Amino acid sequence: MRPSDAEAPAPPRSAATSDIVAREDTHTSGLYQKRRLAIVRGEGARLWDAEGNEYIDCVGGQGSANLGHGNAAVAEAIAAQARTLASCTELFYNDRRAELYSVLSRILPPDLDRVFLCNSGAEAVEAAFKFARMATKRTRIVATMRGFHGKTMGALAATWGPEYRDALGGDALFPGTAHVPFNKVEALEAAITPDTAAFVLELVQGEGGVRPATEEFAREAARVCKARGALLIVDEVQTGFCRTGAMFAIERYGIVPDALCLAKSIAGGVPMGAVAFSRAFGDLPKRSHSTTFGGNPLACAASVAAIGEMRRLDLARNARARGDQLLGGLRGIESPRVREVRGLGLLCGIELKESAGPTIKGLQDRGVLALGAGPTVVRYLPPLVITAEQVDRVVAATAAALA
């Protein structure tokens, strides 16, 4: 996108895009609501489609591209490990896995000194729930309204959205699960009871509308869990790895949970997840949980390289600076269509007084790819390597789309 393109109409689609679309549509599951756009290349915070059109990426792999696209150190680590050893289950010890455990121990709170490696955020949440039920001998899970924790069966029990749950029978399918209003401190005492295994919390609700938790709510949740013998699980699948201006959002809230769920950007774009948990879980029964690909050397090598690059580039600091710039720019847009702008670090959203769809389409036509977060919220999740000049272009495109 060139700066002069802010008012440009959507570019025409050629045979290249049509061919890719036709081949995918022939065999895809049909579960995804796709945009008619074929992305084929990325660099930093930029993407290109099959026609050669350039976009500023504010989708960011839905949070998996914190490090940006095409990072050379991660690519080289993946290539070297693929030539050495790609697969090695946890039946055996492995040098890359041991290295990753050491790296994680240096960036996690000291109390979270055990890690289960898996393949995705939903898997991390599933494992955390299972560990909590085994450790406490209780079955009840409490979550928050508007929370999102995944779409697999166990994680879906805590996910709020009826659009995900109703097709499977709604609350009747998940007995023992309860939801409390987000940021309503007074609801915690009644919801977290002596039969609660765990309370799960996002410190910034992403899918639920880019809603940061209050410090009071997060700290009260930790206090009540401790008082009732329940375990506190913080879901940082989207907020982890510098997104909110710290390596983990728990640092900004001054809390240490019993378990921390991680994924998305942990391995620089390679599928991976993790649960870091404390000794409060006790000794988990051998063979009670496992995964074939979890902790494989390829993903571990990618993660070691990605975390190293995040620290070398000081992405937490850039997320704070560029997040303040983006939030300030969005709040400076004068439009009667805007209800509120909110966020933390480079997880930002505009809540509109109308459907967000036309604005998201307007941004795409102006060279910016953004996400929804519920029916009325435009969500911005750019790679944390985004530049000040690119943020200015995102703000200008947003103002034009809202004009």
Last residue within a domain, chosen from 312, 337, 354: 312
Q: What is the mean pLDDT of residues 23-27?
A: 92
The structural domain count of the chain equals: 2
Report in angstroms the alpha-carbon separations of 88 from 42, 80, 262, 285, 290. Answer: 30, 15, 21, 22, 13
Only one residue has tokens 């953004």, namely 370
Tell me the CATH number at 40: 3.90.1150.10
Query: Do 161 and 237 share a domain, yes or no?
Result: yes
pLDDT tens, residue by residue, 50-99: 999 999 999 999 999 999 999 999 999 999 999 999 999 999 999 999 99
Binned at pLDDT 50, 70 and 90, residue 172 comes out as low
Place of tokens 């690519």: 75
Residues 6+ apart with CB under 8 A from 91: none
Q: Give the pLDDT of residue 170.
A: 66
Same domain flag for 132 and 273: yes
Residues 319 and 304 in one domain: no
CB hemisphere CA count around 173 (13 angstroms): 16
Residue 215 sits in a domain of what CATH number?
3.40.640.10
Q: Provide the β-strand partners of residue 199.
A: 142, 232
Encoded tokens for 18: 């049509």
DSSP secondary structure string for all residues of 22-71? HHHHHH--S-S---S--EEEEEBTEEEETT--EEEESSHHHHT-TT-B--
Cα–Cα distance measured from residue 123 to residue 263, given in angstroms and rounded to the nearest whole number: 9
Model confidence pTM above 0.75: yes
Q: What is the pLDDT of residue 6?
A: 44
Same domain, 99 and 139: yes
Split at pLDDT 50, 70, 90, the class of 2 is very low
Task: Indicate if 215 and 273 belong to the same structural domain.
Answer: yes
Could you tell me if 294 and 321 lie in one domain? Answer: no
218 lies in the same domain as 142? yes
Residues 288-341: tens digit of each pLDDT: 999 999 999 999 999 999 999 999 999 999 999 999 999 999 999 999 999 999
Q: Specify whether the CB–CB gap between 379 and 369 falls below 8 A.
A: no
What residues make up the domain containing 186? 72-312
Helices 297-312 & 72-84 angle (0-180, nearest 10): 160
Interatomic CA distance for residues 401 and 175, integer angstroms? 44
Of 312, 334, 357, which marks where a domain is finished? 312
Q: What is the mean pLDDT of residues 174-187?
A: 91
Note the pLDDT of residue 165: 78
267: CB partners within 8 A, 6+ apart: 299, 300, 302, 303, 306
Q: How many CB atoms lie within 10 A of CB 143?
A: 27
pLDDT of residue 173: 64
For the chain, what's the residue count? 403
Tell me the mean pLDDT in the region 15-27. Answer: 91
Q: Are residues 198 and 299 part of one domain?
A: yes
pLDDT in tens, 283-298: 999 999 999 999 999 9
Do 24 and 143 fall into the same domain?
no
Task: Sort strands 377-380 and 347-352 into parallel, antiparallel or unpaired.
Answer: antiparallel
**Token representation of residue 261:** 């769920």
3-state SS class at 216:
helix
Q: What percent of the chain has pLDDT over 70?
A: 96
Which band of pLDDT confidence, cut at 50, 70 and 90, is reported for residue 8?
Answer: very low
Same domain, 159 and 132: yes
CB 283 within 8 A of CB 277: no
Task: For the beta carbon of residue 213, count every other beta carbon within 10 angstroms.
Answer: 22
Helix axes 315-331, 388-402, angle to 10 degrees: 30
Which of 157, 381, 118 shows the shortest CA–CA distance to 259?
A: 118
Place of tokens 């509120």: 340
Tell whether 347 and 198 lie within a shared domain: no
Q: Give dist(CA 342, CA 327) in Å, integer.
A: 7
Sign of CA dihedral 84, 89, 90, 91: negative
Partners of 142 in the β-ladder: 178, 199
Q: What is the mean pLDDT of the chain?
A: 94
Q: Is it the case that residue 158 has pLDDT exceeding 60?
A: yes
User: What span, in angstroms and rounded, lies between the C-alpha atoms of 209 and 351?
Assistant: 8
Q: How would you classify residue 90: left for phi > 0, otherwise alpha for psi between -120 and 50, otherwise beta?
A: alpha
Structure confidence at residue 154 as a pLDDT band (50, 70, 90):
confident
What are the structure tokens assigned to 131, written together?
A: 């560990």
Do 276 and 343 fall within a single domain? no
- Report whether pLDDT(4) > 50: no
With tokens 């998201």, the residue in question is 360
Q: Which of 312, 331, 363 is the last residue of a domain?
A: 312
The pLDDT value given to residue 62: 96
Question: Tens digits of per-residue pLDDT, 208-227?
Answer: 999 999 999 999 999 999 99
pLDDT for 1 beyond 50: no
> How confident is the model over 31-53, as pLDDT tens digits?
888 999 999 999 999 999 999 99
